[in-house]
Chains A and B, each alone.
Chain A
Amino acid sequence: MENEKLSLPNYTIPEDLQNVVAITTLDRLYNWGRRSSVWPLMFGLACCAIEMIAAQTARYDMARFGMEVMRPTPRQADMMLVSGTVTKKMLPSIIRLYNQMPEPKYVVAMGACASSGGPFKEGYNVVAGIDKFLPVDVYIPGCPPTPQALIAGMIKLQEKIDKQSIKHVTWYNKEKKDGNYVPMPILGPDLIDVRRNAEIRDVAAAKESA
């Protein structure tokens, strides 16, 4: 086998077997398969989505990394590319999509808005970063990030996948089965994060005037 990254180099294979057998660890094989076919969710939010499309086209060609199969349904997707400003009105839909994705799943925050709110952070309808709700694996800076930056971020994600071990990953752990479930926020007078209900009630009660 030619792939030096995949096969374990410091194990001597008998000469007559060298072209027949490759020796590797289960982790490497498992991760090699996963890193080479990260299917993104076909999901665009704002300006960054256009650069995401541009990264899929001929000049940048994300297919080189096995990431060209955009799945419109979350049930077939491995990675959610949050490409743009997350608004309060949109957030429940994003959370619902995330909860529908099967494990293993990754979240990439593309651009300033998805990472922190960006130039629109002060806006009343803007969530200051998707990481207030979802566990983000890679942040890609830029407004919008160029396709090159996006690809660099994807390679970072591949590196992260390489480091995971089948022994420790949460999705085979029966006790942590719903470990990544995020409760749905509610659109009320403002965005209600149901995990913070008690805090919201206390602060609202302590407010000086209506």
Chain B
Amino acid sequence: MATPVLTQTVDLAARFPGKVSADARPGYAGIIVNKENLVEVATAVRDEFGFDLLTAVTGVDYIAENKMEVVYHAYKTTGGAGLVFRVQVERVDPIEVPSLINIWPGVDFQEREAWDLYGIKFTGHPDLRRILMWEGFEGHPLRKDWKEPFFEEEVKPFKSRWPDGQHTFAENKNPFRDNLNFPKDFDPEKYVVDKEEDLYMSLERDTTKDVEGNMKTDHIVVNMGPHHPSTHGVLRVAVQLDGETIIGLKPVMGYLHRNHDKIGERNTYLQNIPYTDRLDYFNSMSNNFGYVTTVEKLMKIPVAERAEYIRVIMAELSRIQNHLIFIGMLMNDLGTMYTPSLYAFEERELVLDIFEAVSGARMMCNYFRFGGVVRDIPDFAMQKIKDLVFERLPAKTDEMERFLNENEILVARLKGIHVLNAEDAIKYSVTGPVLRATGVPYDLRRADPYSIYDRFDFDVAVRQNGDMMDNYLIRFDEIRQSLRILEQAIKQIPQGPINSQKAAYQVRVPAGEAYGRIESPKGELAFYIVSNGKPNAYRYHVRPASFVNLTAVESMCKGSKIADFVALLAMLDIVMGELDR
């Protein structure tokens, strides 16, 4: 991979005359690449211009222009601004776009998602199956002309909800009297059930074949999940085993696919904030942060000074409790059932108390608003935060480290078990603590500062080995850094208004697009929003950290023992609400 040159200006139009053109639409940035030249331009973007981290790939359905668009967001792991490039194709099936999987393998799941939800065929993708819905599902749900069975109106608020002041059930409007929609003349008795042959074929194809002359052994396919005590939610993993060694692995997801994007495109901007709470349900504050940052980017409004500090305080508290849970749950996965996680949950409850005091809810805080936050921190809650940050949490973090870090069993299970090296991590677009544990100091709070993180003095936690021990210890490092940020934020927080805007049910968002990203506890959480000036987002896409990080799971686990798999999966710190949306 080429060394990125920071001073280099990105002038793709000069480099590829006739093959790319600037995006002229108002509010849009970046360049449009011709479909035929996509692979060539993308290779140059990575190798010549140094954009080694492709964070997001998503489709947009411009039905009025009869265009289907694929948007790519590329960044440099050394930090700095990103590059947006896009491909537009005619909206006539089959919609085909060349796959970039050979340039950035991290696009694997995201391209599959675009295929699943938009029906964009990525030619050259070796394993283009549906990812969130099941094989055999009718239609591509995020297309603008695809209507869900409980469809009422294009956008909220639905006027049909209270016809003549009477409530009607959504079931009564659907001919099947349920959330169902079948094609015409469908006969359930003649339906042939999908036996998931594609999944098992793809497992088989990636499997290394036996060397000739060796004893012939059978491989076993084990399906873990979706109900499995160790898979951190309803994730299913099909594992192919040779004895105890993993030789192939395919995650199957979508068991918690709650149609976040589709509902988000019907919601008004404000209505959508509580839905973002339910993405990564450990960190509703961080999710709010990412979403409002993105919409504020579009609206071009400032954030009240005091609110900026409150946001940082809440986001960092959220990070601390997330990492505590991570540590507790990792111990569960390693076999020390419950005791460490009980310690972790004890501290988490104290953080949740603060969330409850400021927002009214323990988990689903719904606390951020465009331009600020919804309520000020009450004095008693501020006192609680101070007690936690200056007294209790540092002591408890030390205590946990003292209890756990040198435990012989823990060290034996974690030390030297390889997770990822830096090159693979970047290749698979892995972000967050997992990337930093491989020695890449890529933290958005430093690399591309948002909010007021540039005012604080803290170090980006980095570890060098990339083994499980480093992945585990880096969480403690991050807790300490978060505490440092919190100490400064508490000391510096000014008095003043908590919102720069007037409270309103509707916000005016000018037409255009925005890609806003924050460093969530699990990695880069980004939102891609396209506005057409109406009260609802035209395209609302979440780029979840868990989902993209999971792309690396196959290469992480190949060759390791099945007993380590559970802990390896825990390292990625996935949460299904965010993964499946």
> Contact residues of A with B, CB < 8 Å?
42-47, 49-51, 53-54, 57-59, 72, 84-85, 87-90, 93, 97, 117, 119-128, 132, 143-144, 146, 186-194, 197, 199-201, 203-210
B281 touches A205 (CB 8 A): no
Indicate whether A128 sits within 8 Å of B189 (C-beta atoms), given known contacts A59-B346, A90-B255, A93-B227: no
Q: Which residue of A lies closest to B192 (CB)?
A: A188
B176 touches A200 (CB 8 A): yes
How far is it, in angstroms, between the C-alpha of A187 and the C-alpha of B152 when the chains are bound? Answer: 24
B175 touches A190 (CB 8 A): no
- Interface pairs A-B: 4 shortest CB-CB: A123-B259, A189-B138, A47-B281, A124-B148
B503, CB-defined interface residue at 8 Å: no
Other A-B pairs beyond A89-B255, A125-B259, A200-B186, 17, CB < 8 Å: A47-B577, A51-B362, A89-B133, A89-B134, A90-B234, A119-B278, A122-B152, A125-B254, A125-B257, A126-B258, A126-B259, A128-B150, A132-B178, A144-B363, A186-B193, A188-B188, A204-B185
B141, CB-defined interface residue at 8 Å: yes
List 15 interface pairs A-B (beta carbons < 8 Å), by A numbering.
Answer: A46-B281, A50-B363, A87-B254, A87-B256, A90-B256, A122-B148, A122-B150, A124-B179, A125-B132, A126-B259, A187-B194, A200-B188, A204-B185, A207-B184, A210-B184
A128 touches B171 (CB 8 A): yes
How far is it, in angstroms, between the C-alpha of A186 and the C-alpha of B193 when the chains are bound? Answer: 7
How far is it, in angstroms, between the C-alpha of A84 and the C-alpha of B256 when the chains are bound? Answer: 9
Indicate whether A87 sits within 8 Å of B257 (C-beta atoms), given known contacts A187-B136, A200-B188: yes
Chain A residues closer than 8 Å to B576, beta-carbon distance:
46
Q: Which residue of B lies closest to A45 (CB)?
A: B234
B262 to chain A, nearest CB (A): 7
> Contact residues of B with A, CB < 8 Å?
132-134, 136-138, 141, 148-152, 170-171, 175-176, 178-189, 191, 193-194, 226-229, 233-234, 254-259, 262-263, 266, 274-275, 278, 281-282, 341-342, 345-346, 348-349, 362-364, 576-577
Chain B residues closer than 8 Å to A188, beta-carbon distance:
136, 182, 186, 188, 191, 193
Q: Which of B227, B281, B345 contacts A43 (CB 8 A)?
A: B227
Chain A residues closer than 8 Å to B255, beta-carbon distance:
87, 89-90, 93
A146 touches B362 (CB 8 A): yes
Chain A residues closer than 8 Å to B184, beta-carbon distance:
204-205, 207-210
A53 touches B259 (CB 8 A): no
Chain A residues closer than 8 Å to B258, beta-carbon distance:
46, 85, 87, 120, 123, 125-126
A72 touches B229 (CB 8 A): yes
Chain A residues closer than 8 Å to B257, beta-carbon distance:
87, 89, 125
Which residue, B136, B170, B188, B362, has most C-beta atoms of chain A within 10 A? B188
Q: Which of B175, B186, B194, B263 contacts A120 (CB 8 A)?
A: B263
Q: Which residue of A lies closest to B352 (CB)?
A: A54
Q: Determine the main DSSP class of B at the interface with A.
A: loop
How far is it, in angstroms, between the C-alpha of A161 and the C-alpha of B148 when the chains are bound? Answer: 40
Chain A residues closer than 8 Å to B138, beta-carbon distance:
189-190
A67 to chain B, nearest CB (A): 15
Q: Which residue of A lies closest to B256 (CB)?
A: A46
Chain B residues closer than 8 Å to A144, beta-carbon distance:
363-364
How far is it, in angstroms, between the C-alpha of A120 and the C-alpha of B171 when the chains are bound? Answer: 14
B342 touches A124 (CB 8 A): no
Q: Which of A54, A194, A204, A205 contacts B349 (CB 8 A)?
A: A54
Q: Which of A47, A97, A121, A187 contacts B364 (CB 8 A)?
A: A47
How far is it, in angstroms, between the C-alpha of A192 and the C-alpha of B179 when the chains are bound? Answer: 11
Chain B residues closer than 8 Å to A87, beta-carbon distance:
254-258
Indicate whether A189 sits within 8 Å of B136 (C-beta atoms), given known contacts A124-B179, A205-B185: yes
B259 touches A120 (CB 8 A): yes
Q: Which of B136, B152, B228, B364 contacts A143 (CB 8 A)?
A: B364
Chain B residues closer than 8 Å to A210, beta-carbon distance:
183-185
B150 touches A121 (CB 8 A): yes
A116 to chain B, nearest CB (A): 10
A190 touches B185 (CB 8 A): no
Q: Which residue of B lies closest to A125 (CB)?
A: B257
A179 to chain B, nearest CB (A): 24
B188 touches A186 (CB 8 A): yes
How far is it, in angstroms, between the C-alpha of A122 and the C-alpha of B263 when the chains are bound? Answer: 8
Q: Which residue of A lies closest to B193 (CB)?
A: A186
Which residue, B133, B186, B187, B341, has most C-beta atoms of chain A within 10 A? B186
Chain A residues closer than 8 Å to B263, beta-carbon distance:
120, 122-123
B226 touches A90 (CB 8 A): yes
Chain B residues closer than 8 Å to A192, beta-carbon distance:
188, 191
B98 to chain A, nearest CB (A): 29
Q: Which residue of B lies closest to A41 (CB)?
A: B227
Which residue, A44, A123, A146, has most C-beta atoms of chain B within 10 A? A123
Chain A residues closer than 8 Å to B342, beta-carbon distance:
57-58
Chain B residues closer than 8 Å to A89, beta-carbon distance:
133-134, 254-255, 257
How far is it, in angstroms, between the C-alpha of A97 and the C-alpha of B132 when the chains are bound? Answer: 22
How far is it, in angstroms, between the C-alpha of A51 and the C-alpha of B170 when the chains are bound? Answer: 29
Chain A residues closer than 8 Å to B256, beta-carbon distance:
45-46, 84-85, 87, 90
Chain B residues closer than 8 Å to A93, beta-carbon distance:
226-227, 255
Which residue, B170, B171, B257, B274, has most C-beta atoms of chain A within 10 A? B257
Q: Which residue of A lies closest to B280 (CB)?
A: A47
A81 to chain B, nearest CB (A): 13
Chain B residues closer than 8 Å to A49, beta-carbon distance:
233
Which residue, A199, A201, A204, has most C-beta atoms of chain B within 10 A? A204
B228 to chain A, nearest CB (A): 8
Which residue, A42, A58, A121, A207, has most C-beta atoms of chain B within 10 A? A207
Q: Which residue of A lies closest to B179 (CB)?
A: A128
Chain A residues closer than 8 Å to B278, beta-carbon distance:
46-47, 119
Q: Which residue of B lies closest to A117 (CB)?
A: B179
Q: Which residue of A lies closest to B350 (CB)?
A: A59
Chain A residues closer than 8 Å to B151, beta-carbon distance:
122
How far is it, in angstroms, between the C-alpha of A210 and the C-alpha of B184 when the chains are bound? Answer: 5
How far is it, in angstroms, between the C-alpha of A178 and the C-alpha of B256 when the chains are bound? Answer: 30
Which residue, A53, A58, A190, A194, has most C-beta atoms of chain B within 10 A? A190
B353 to chain A, nearest CB (A): 10
How far is it, in angstroms, between the C-alpha of A119 and the C-alpha of B133 when the chains are bound? Answer: 20
Indicate whether A46 sits within 8 Å of B226 (C-beta atoms), given known contacts A119-B278, A197-B188: no
A131 to chain B, nearest CB (A): 12
Which residue, B136, B229, B234, has most C-beta atoms of chain A within 10 A? B234
A124 touches B259 (CB 8 A): yes
B178 touches A128 (CB 8 A): yes
How far is it, in angstroms, between the C-alpha of A44 and the C-alpha of B225 when the chains are bound? Answer: 12
Q: Which residue of B lies closest to A60 (CB)?
A: B349
A202 to chain B, nearest CB (A): 10
A58 touches B281 (CB 8 A): no
